[in-house]
Structure 1
Amino acid sequence: MGFSHEERKMYINENLAPAKKSLLKRVNDEGKTAGYKFLWTQHGAMCTSVTKPCIDSAELSARTRETKHKVPGGSNLPVTARRTLLRSINKTLVKRVHEVSDQIHLRGELEHIKRVLKCNNYPSHKICTELPPTWNPRVGQPKARVVLPYLGAASHKIQRILREADIEVRHSSSNKLQSALTTHKDKRNSKDLPGVYRIPCECGKVYIGETGRSFNTRIKEHKAHGRRDEREKSAIIDHAHTHDHRILWDESRLVTRVPYWYQRRAREALEIEEHNTVPQDSGLQLSNIWLTVLDKEANLPN
């Protein structure tokens, strides 16, 4: 076969001949009609089953030998750490089986986990296939939950009484005048927030834009485009250079704070529609419904 005489591992992948591949397709089509849910090949033969297929001893032995390298044993770890690792692997596998298996195949899957762990030299008395109660979402859940304002010692007494009736109590802080008037957080400067902004020109027109970064950063970029004469990158710079107008940088401001991109684009389009803007991209295409609403608001008396 062209191999040298030195010893090396060889892996043989089972593959069907063209005739059997065609037969496999026909069996698969007929099996679906007859209600067979499972179809697989084994040792060159085709097998079908209505229920989940069982694994023979030869295939199980091969699977567990492969799994032996996949299930870590932590042989180089300290004894305590190795025991913790083995226990956590066992619990994780059992938890996963309980989550994804139905009641028909649950017992078979748990037995398979037990066989695989034994083949990986797990102690038999340490293998557990029962689901801990804390992992079962249907166990340990209270009948109801209530949220009550915290009133000191009285709240704890009420909590103990309701706990006997299997009602979970959660406490919330009461509203105080101090919490309404003061805050522990420093207010951010509006120029450091993202949103929709406007830059006015001395001719009375404005430029409307949006940014996901801070307003100050975007203004600095517009100014940099003006210094480098990059008119194609800023509509307000192009307007000022074309008509020899002065941009009123000091009167630039953030119209509204909008942290999300799509909402910013929609608000930008609304502001462009409402203001007398310099020639610029109109932004997001608005529905005619919005245009009708804006026209009605413009005609309302002050």
Structure 2
Amino acid sequence: SQYLVKIIQPTLNKSEIVVKNSKAFVEEAKTWTVDPNEIQVSYDVVALYPSIPVKKAIDNLMNMIKNDYEDFKTRTILKLEHVKELIEVCLYKSYFLWNNQIHCLEDSGPIGLSLMVVLAESYLQMIEKQALSISRSRTIPVDPITHRRYVDDSHDRFLEKEKSDEFLKILNSQDERVQFTVEYENKDKELNYLEIKTINNKQGNYDFKVYRKDAITNIQIKPESCHDDKVKRGVFKGFILRAKNICSEKYLKQEIDFIKQIFIENGYDEADLQKMIQETERKRSTKKNDSDGRYTSLPWIPGLSQKLQKVFKNAGCKVSFKSPRNLESILTSRNKPKLPPNSQPGVYFVPTGCGSGYTGESKKQIRTRNLEHEKAVFKGDTKNDAIAEHKDSCDCQMDWEAVKTLAVEPIWFKRKVREALEIRRLKTGPEETKGLNRDLGDYVTTSTWSTLFNKINDMKIEPTFESMTSSSALDGQ
């Protein structure tokens, strides 16, 4: 899916209708000559992604790619028929789990899949092209003066409200599944579009200011919160840069003062905030990073993370920090529909009836890898499977339902390191009495972890070898 997006997106980016973001819209709108009497409207697609007819949209996307083929073929060696087959594989059938039952979405794509975003965008471009063509061909044209769109929300200008209503009818007649609603400017000739309040100043152009919904709480990250200081500064600077990118000169100071006051109310020092505002006025440094591209991500631990960052920097490795789980994720994690056990890639543990154990890793679903172990035991494949080798000399019973996921990890390198660490923690290596692993895994070459593992096992923070190989565990109690 990601590869398809990479090769298709440049074709869609050639549309003059699509705006990249709020900043790009403001920069273009500043160049327009605006009639004092014209009106602004915004058309919005109702439930965009579930409304897109996947099969028709795929055919339309392929036509767009064919029309751009000379450029498209420079981005991939795939033939058009192969591109279409891959798109169909990704989108023709979409499943979801509800109430322990698997359901299928018919001719409708999943929300959140990157390829579905591309497909929806191509279909909207087709609808807009047809609607604009029809509106221009009328005896009295009803097409907008300008029509710009970001995802499912557009900004349009008309000289008369009746023309905007007629254009809405044309849009809604292109596909009965894809329907649009409309929002008009208010009596002060203001329209809220994206995060912008666009104002017709009746002097031949627009003024701009930041638009906020009424539900704004003004709550920001507290200065004493468990976040990297760079993150806290980055949040504030982000708001300031947004103000500078959007606001007209007459509204800029008012917006910056408002942002500053919010952060003061949240406990920040006014002098520090003023200093950060000044920093945003400096040109960004063009100095290249001295590191050779090495990068790692670590959990943020106050007091320790700053020291680790210096150590990694001296070693030529860039470090970024990720926040620990917040209260919302902890409280809501149980509300998500649960997949069957062992349905993720990661590191796992297989206990045997005689009290031995095997630690492994897999990029597949762990339950799929478990089935492969079971088949290997059944076929006696002692060469390629350590559990089968053990069963060849031991008459113990295997409870394949007792297999346990130790860690969910989709990233190959992290998974291999975690496997090696778990082999050592659970003592399932080749030199251990009850260990079935043929080696100690990859990338971990020292025994300095032993003390930490002994502490973890003593405190029973993680499942221990004994707890997973006991008779009660194997009996499912």
TM-score range, shorter chain: 0.3 to 0.5
TM-score by length of 1: 0.40
Q: Specify which structure has the bigger relative contact order, considering alpha-carbon pairs within 8 angstroms and separated by 6 or more residues.
A: 2
TM-score by length of 2: 0.27
